[in-house]
Structure 1
């Protein structure tokens, strides 16, 4: 269960960044602006 919770948190954070246009996929690299 703990693993699943961590997965959910990581996914929601990643989604948050994508929705806020702070994550850009460039080739095989991921650029995150904080």
Structure 2
């Protein structure tokens, strides 16, 4: 399964969610949608 996160590095919730995904052992596809 591929995990994709639309990530905003300035958002604490987005950073926390990315950290939780990585702690679960998955390496998500990160799309920084504000760039």
TM-score bracket, shorter-length normalisation = 0.3 to 0.5
TM-score by length of 2: 0.45
TM-score by length of 1: 0.46
- Computing the radius of gyration from Cα coordinates, the structure with the larger value is 1
Larger helix fraction of residues: 1
